Structure 1
Amino acid sequence: MTTIDCLVDDSDIDVPIDDRDEGERRALELAHRIRLVAVQDPEQAQRLVDELIVALDAALGGTFSEHLDGVAREVLERALAKSRNGHGAGISPAGNS
Structure 2
Amino acid sequence: MTNIGQLEDTDIDIAIDEGEAGERRATELANRLRLVAAEDPLLAQDLVEGLIVALDRAMGGTIRDHLDGPALGVADKVLSDPEQVR
TM-score (normalizing by structure 2): 0.77
Per-residue deviation, 1:16 = 4.8
Per-residue deviation, 1:69 = 2.2
Amino acid aligned to 1:77: D
Q: Cα deviation per residue 1:29-86 (whole Å; 9 max; x = unaligned)?
A: 111111111011000000000000111111110011111223221110111123x1x2
Distance 2:72 2:63 in 1: 9
> Match of 1:26?
25
- Point out which structure has higher relative CO (alpha carbons under 8 A, 6+ apart): 1
> Compared with structure 1, are the counterparts of its residues 16 and 22 closer, same or farther at alpha carbon in structure 2 (3 Å cutoff)?
farther
> Compared with structure 1, are the counterparts of its residues 50 and 16 closer, same or farther at alpha carbon in structure 2 (3 Å cutoff)?
farther
> Match of 1:56?
55
Unaligned runs of 5+ in 1: 1-11, 93-97
Amino acid aligned to 2:23: E
RMSD over aligned CA atoms reads 1.9
In the alignment, structure 1 residue 72 sits paired with structure 2 residue 53:
no
Identity among equivalent positions (%) equals 54
1:75 alignment partner, SS class: helix
Unaligned runs of 5+ in 2: 1-8
> Match of 1:3?
none
Bigger Rg over Cα: 1
Aligned ranges 1:34-49 → 2 under 5 Å: 34-49=33-48
> Compared with structure 1, are the counterparts of its residues 76 and 68 closer, same or farther at alpha carbon in structure 2 (3 Å cutoff)?
same
Aligned length: 77
